[in-house]
Amino acid sequence: MSALYSQGIKCELEYKKYSRERSNEPFHTGRVRVHLKNDDGTPVNPNYPTRKSIMYLLADLIPKLKTRASKQSGDQNINNPKKDKGKGKRR
């Protein structure tokens, strides 16, 4: 949400939960609603008129957040997966 606020986009967090969801973790709080269009149908922010443009914006901004910068050391293992040796299990 801080990434959206930094671009001047109005949004709010709705505390929704799927009825069969077992996880009560705080980062699974629900959904984010974004104000995209005015009552007459014109976009609120002409730079980001669609959901897709908002998603591209978030894809650019989220990795740059200060909270994400310290976690880069763990991401190196993802880029270099271990190669399997041998044939594996036979059936």
pLDDT tens string 51-87: 999 999 989 988 888 877 775 555 555 566 666 666 7
Task: Domains for the chain: give ranges and CATH numbers.
Answer: 2-66 (3.30.56.30)
pLDDT of residue 39: 93
pLDDT tens string 14-36: 888 777 777 777 667 788 889 99
More confident residue, 2 or 50: 50
pLDDT of residue 9: 86
Q: What is the DSSP string of the chain?
A: -HHHHHTT--EEEE----TT-----TT---EEEE--B-TTS-BSSTT--SHHHHHHHHHHHGGGSHHHHTTHHHHHHHHSPPPP-S-----
pLDDT of residue 68: 75
pLDDT of residue 71: 58
